[in-house]
Amino acid sequence: MSYHGKILIGLTGNIACGKSTVLRQLRDLGAFVIDADTLIHSILRQDGPAYWPVVAEFGPEIVKGDGDIDRQALGRIVFSDPEKLRRLEEIEHPIVRRIIDEEIGQADEEIVVLDAIKLIESGWADKCDTVWVVICRREQQIERLQKSRGYSREDAEMRVSAQSDPALKVARADIVIDNSGTLEETHKQVQSAWATLCASV
């Protein structure tokens, strides 16, 4: 057990590959799960610790009429400019790291899953006992973004292209979950990897 006395699974994969699906399955199997993307949503709310730093950095044009940050507007800015994306991550990541650390330490479950798209780039992978990477085909990512989030094809392609090469994640993986097939096929892969992990404890 490598971190706070817990077995830590690092779960990652590029946008719209199906990490949330795998995360739900791992929760059902008994893991304590932490979704870094959900944490980012929370820290960008009006009462969140990243709200004002992000507004100050990217300007009032990212704020909607109700005062909330327009995540699609912010996304169009940062996903079209790697330097701006880097600046956003410099604001968000230290806050998210602190919250993740606290949640791992407070978890009652023996196995904790950290779902983070930047798991490897942020250094969290080095703290994990095992790294699981979820993959699917690029065209599926684009279609899922259009269907589930209402993005135009252009916006969806821009977000997919802004991600790191999935092969880099796969090269770092202990387990690769192929989510390009049916939900049942994905579930079987997750169950098999979970059983192997539990047997090794």
**Percent of the chain at pLDDT above 90?**
94
List of residues 6+ apart from 166 with CB closer than 8 A: 13, 14, 17, 133, 135
- Rg of the chain (C-alpha set): 17
Q: Is the pLDDT reported for residue 127 higher than 60?
A: yes
Q: In this predicted structure, what is the pLDDT of residue 1?
A: 53
- pLDDT for the residue 201: 80
Q: What percent of the chain has pLDDT over 70?
A: 99
pTM for the complete prediction? 0.90
Residue 2 has pLDDT above 70, yes or no: no
CA 170 to chain centre: 15
Number of Cβ within a 10 Å radius of residue 190: 22
pLDDT digits (tens, 9 = 90+) for 182-199: 999 999 999 999 999 999
Q: Which tokens belong to 126?
A: 């080095």
Q: Is the pLDDT of residue 105 over 70?
A: yes
* Average pLDDT rounded to a whole number, residues 44-60: 97
DSSP codes of every residue in 85-135? HHHHHHHHHHHHHHHHHHHHHH--SSEEEEE-TTTTTTTGGGG-SEEEEEE
pLDDT at 3 (0 to 100): 85
CB-CB contact of 177 with 186 (8 Å): yes
Q: Write down all domains in the chain, each with its CATH number in brackets.
A: 7-200 (3.40.50.300)
**pLDDT per residue over 129-174, tens digit each?**
999 999 999 999 999 999 999 999 999 999 999 998 999 999 999 9
Least confident span in 1-5, 17-21, 142-146: 1-5
Do 196 and 132 meet the contact criterion of CB atoms below 8 Å apart? no
> How far is Cα 30 from Cα 25, in angstroms, rounded to an integer?
9
pLDDT at 22 over 90: yes
CB 134 within 8 A of CB 33: no
**pLDDT confidence of 4, banded at 50, 70, 90?**
confident
